[in-house]
């Protein structure tokens, strides 16, 4: 963990769309990205599933990548999701991310046909060879339909030198320790399953990849501070308060829930792009209640975390 390329709270911004034209709203993207940095996020990761990367045209993808990285301006590390259905498309995106100054790239096996291990190796090797950037392998069987077991992940990493990180989102907490042990500590592991945030850190995860800082940055940062400070009681208390919110945003879909939350907070980023639909009214009211409760709760304040953001 000491040599992890990225650490701490790695924040995932949404991609805003204009409410009239439906086009990418780069000015709002810049504002929201800047808010993630000034709130204290330890890294920013544009163009993940929260950023609706799969629904962007290539010119839009390039513009979002450039705008987000220019806004961060090397104040914190950046992790760009470069996944595409094809190896060619993923390689192209990796090179664009590198050209605009990304710290690292993240690759999900975004496929229709289930890939063999040989195909996975060829895909990751080609993407990794396209730049000198560190590569994060992203395992999310719920969205990709491909479950990369720890043994497979470690075997891939042994053949691809700059594959140094793994974002594990299967929901199986045992995998954090398994990947670290099987790789003899060579792979840094990151949690992508929001409800497992605390268990993952306690199992040796170097960071938490999460969209929660878009709405409640101080809570995510306080959880990490409690873990790093060895304050187990406080970490448990923070997670207990935060868990219903984390389960809600995952259960109802990150793009629609985060955008609904931003609208509630007066920081609108438009609606998700079709086929996604906005969060229904009933669920929006539930989310509003959660955000109001977290904002009013005395457990977290800026003095405790050393942060100052636009929301709780």
Q: Which domain holds residue 91?
A: 8-230
The reported pLDDT for the residue numbered 59 is 98
What CATH code is carried by the domain that includes residue 212? 3.20.20.70
Say whether 160 sits in a helix, a strand or coil: coil
Closest to 121 (Cα-Cα) out of 137, 106, 134, 133: 137
Q: Domain for residue 298, yes or no?
A: no
Q: Is 7 a catalytic residue?
A: no
Domain assignment of residue 92, yes or no: yes
The answer to whether 166 and 188 are in contact (CB under 8 A) is yes
Rounded to two decimals, what is the model's pTM?
0.92
Tens of pLDDT along 148-166?
A: 999 999 999 999 999 999 9
d(CA 65, CA 81): 9
- Strands in the chain per DSSP E: 8-11, 43-44, 79-81, 104-107, 135-139, 163-168, 188-191, 207-210
Residue 305 has pLDDT above 60, yes or no: no
Q: Using an 8 Å Cβ cutoff, are 109 and 85 in contact? A: no
Confidence of residue 115 (pLDDT cuts 50, 70, 90): confident
Residue 25 lies in a domain: yes
Q: Is the pLDDT of residue 102 over 90?
A: yes
The number of distinct structural domains making up the chain is 1
224 is catalytic: no
DSSP letter assigned to residue 96: H
> Does the residue 293 lie in any domain?
no
Q: Give the active site residue among 167, 190, 224, 259.
A: 167
Classify residue 22 as left (phi > 0), alpha (psi -120 to 50) or beta: left
Q: How many CA atoms lie within 13 A of 169 on its CB side?
A: 23
292, part of any domain: no
* Residue 306 within any structural domain of the chain: no
Report the DSSP beta bridge partners of residue 208: 9, 191
DSSP 54: G
Is 309 within the bounds of a domain?
no
Residue tagged active-site, from 7, 12, 124, 138: 138
Report CA torsion sign: 102, 78, 163, 137.
negative
Does residue 294 form part of some domain? no
| Percent composition of the chain: helix, strand, coil (DSSP 3-state, to 5) | 50, 10, 40
Q: What is the mean pLDDT of the chain?
A: 92
């Amino acid at each position: 963990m000491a040599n992890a390329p990225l650490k701490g709270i790695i924040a995932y911004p949404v991609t805003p769309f204009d409410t009239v034209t439906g086009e990418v709203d780069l000015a709002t993207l810049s504002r929201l990205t800047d808010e993630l940095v000034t709130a204290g996020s330890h890294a920013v990761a544009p163009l993940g599933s929260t950023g609706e990367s799969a629904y962007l045209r290539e010119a839009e993808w390039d513009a979002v990548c450039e705008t987000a990285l220019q806004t961060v301006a090397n104040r914190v590390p950046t992790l760009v999701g470069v996944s595409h259905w094809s190896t060619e498309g993923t390689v192209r995106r990796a090179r664009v991310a590198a050209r605009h100054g990304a710290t690292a790239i993240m690759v999900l096996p975004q496929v229709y046909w289930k890939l063999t291990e040989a195909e996975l190796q060829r895909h990751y090797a080609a993407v990794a060879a396209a730049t000198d950037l560190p590569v994060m392998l992203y395992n999310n069987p719920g969205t990709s339909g491909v479950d990369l077991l720890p043994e497979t992940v470690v075997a891939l990493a042994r053949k691809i030198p700059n594959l140094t990180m793994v974002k594990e989102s299967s929901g199986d907490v045992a995998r954090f320790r398994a990947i670290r042990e099987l790789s003899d500590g060579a792979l840094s592991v990151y949690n992508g399953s929001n409800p497992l945030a605390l268990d993952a850190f306690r199992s040796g995860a170097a960071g938490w990849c999460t969209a929660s800082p878009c709405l409640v940055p101080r809570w995510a940062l306080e959880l990490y501070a409690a873990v790093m400070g060895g304050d187990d009681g406080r970490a448990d208390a923070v997670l207990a308060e935060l868990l219903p919110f984390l389960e809600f945003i995952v259960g109802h879909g990150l793009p629609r829930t985060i955008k609904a939350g931003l609208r509630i907070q007066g920081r609108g980023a438009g609606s998700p792009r079709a086929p996604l639909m906005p969060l229904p009214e009933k669920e929006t009211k539930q989310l509003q209640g959660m955000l109001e409760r977290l904002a009013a709760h005395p457990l977290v304040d800026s003095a405790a975390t050393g942060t100052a953001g636009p929301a709780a």
